[in-house]
Amino acid sequence: MDNEKIFELLTEIRDSNQQMLDEYRRVANEAVGLQKQALAEQKESVERQKLAVDTQLRHVRLYRIVLLVTLPVVVFMAWLLMRLFRYI
């Protein structure tokens, strides 16, 4: 009788360990899937940031060009106005 109880307990322990192992594998696989998804999202985010930085650089270059073109025009217009007011 003791041997039967011992055998039943050992069988129950084995089954419980197998269930825990199965659950561990399921959770581990789910965690790996989530990590892969997070990595993909991070890579996509980095690409978006690179695109945003490139866009900002293009805008800065355009701003510099506009500034370099308009500044001499404004200075010339101011000079013309000063000359005009001198004769009035």
Give the pLDDT confidence of 32-68 residue by residue, as tens digits.
999 999 999 999 999 999 999 999 999 999 999 999 9
26, burial (CB in 10 Å: exposed 0-12, middle 13-18, buried 19+): exposed
Percent of the chain, pLDDT > 70? 98
Report pLDDT for 87. 76
d(CA 64, CA 47): 26
**Phi, psi for residue 18 in degrees, rounded to 5:** -65, -40
Query: Structure pTM?
Result: 0.60
Q: How far apart are CA 13 and CA 18, in angstroms?
A: 9
pLDDT at 28 over 80: yes
pLDDT at 1 over 80: no
Residue 35, pLDDT score:
98
What is the Cβ-side half-sphere exposure of residue 20, based on CA atoms within 13 angstroms? 6
